[in-house]
């Protein structure tokens, strides 16, 4: 028996969601690693080689940001529209807030890139990265508390209707 087109699209959505969720978990682990690496404490203010520390952070941070920005494209095209139907709220709903968070994080990231190009001190460059990490960490927290449960419920409904 041939699979009907609408059912096929639903299963494609479930598979895409599962891939997004796995990538989300992996990115979150990388984010936590970066946050631990960037953790500031009073001893850091006497750090002897800020340039070396900045370079180490940058080597981890740039690939993370590229992966997170690709991840956001999937969120914006699939996850946000899907969960908007469940959570509502329009521009002031969860998806709208998360879209704004990602724009703000991108602005701080762009400020970091420009600051490095302008030759700012490593401490100042690191402060830009810390701002990005704080925003992205909050972004993940909100997703995990609201979007993921709503999406999980919708995926369960899709799987149930497909059986």
pLDDT digits (tens, 9 = 90+) for 100-138: 999 999 999 999 999 999 999 988 998 899 999 999 999
Number of domains in the chain: 1
Tell me which H or E stretch contains 129: helix 122-142
Residue 119 three-state SS: coil
pLDDT attached to residue 42: 44
* Residue from 27, 13, 22, 49 nearest 126 by CA: 49
Q: CB–CB of 17/155 below 8 Å?
A: yes
- Local structure of residue 4 (DSSP, 8 states): P
* Residue from 66, 37, 70 nearest 54 by CA: 37
| Higher-pLDDT residue of 86, 113 | 113
Range of the domain at 144: 5-40+49-162
| Non-local CB neighbours of 38 within 8 Å, separated by 6+ positions | 57, 126, 129, 130, 133
pLDDT attached to residue 60: 93
On the question of pLDDT at 16 being above 60, the answer is yes
Question: Percentage of the chain with pLDDT > 90?
Answer: 44
pLDDT attached to residue 27: 96
């Amino acid at each position: 028996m041939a699979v009907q087109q609408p059912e096929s699209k639903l299963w494609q959505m479930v598979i895409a969601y599962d891939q997004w969720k796995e990538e989300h978990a992996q990115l979150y682990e990388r984010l936590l690693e970066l946050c631990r690496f960037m953790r500031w404490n009073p001893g850091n203010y006497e750090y002897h080689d800020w340039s070396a520390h900045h370079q180490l952070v940058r080597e981890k941070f740039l690939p993370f940001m590229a992966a997170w920005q690709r991840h956001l494209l999937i969120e914006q095209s699939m996850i946000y529209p899907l969960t908007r139907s469940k959570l509502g709220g329009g521009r002031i709903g969860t998806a709208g807030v998360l879209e704004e968070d990602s724009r703000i994080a991108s602005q701080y990231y762009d400020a970091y890139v420009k600051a490095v190009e302008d030759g700012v001190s490593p401490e100042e460059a690191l402060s830009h990265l810390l701002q990005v990490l704080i925003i992205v960490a909050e972004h993940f927290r909100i997703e995990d508390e609201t979007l993921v449960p709503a999406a999980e419920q919708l995926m369960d409904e899709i799987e149930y209707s497909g059986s």
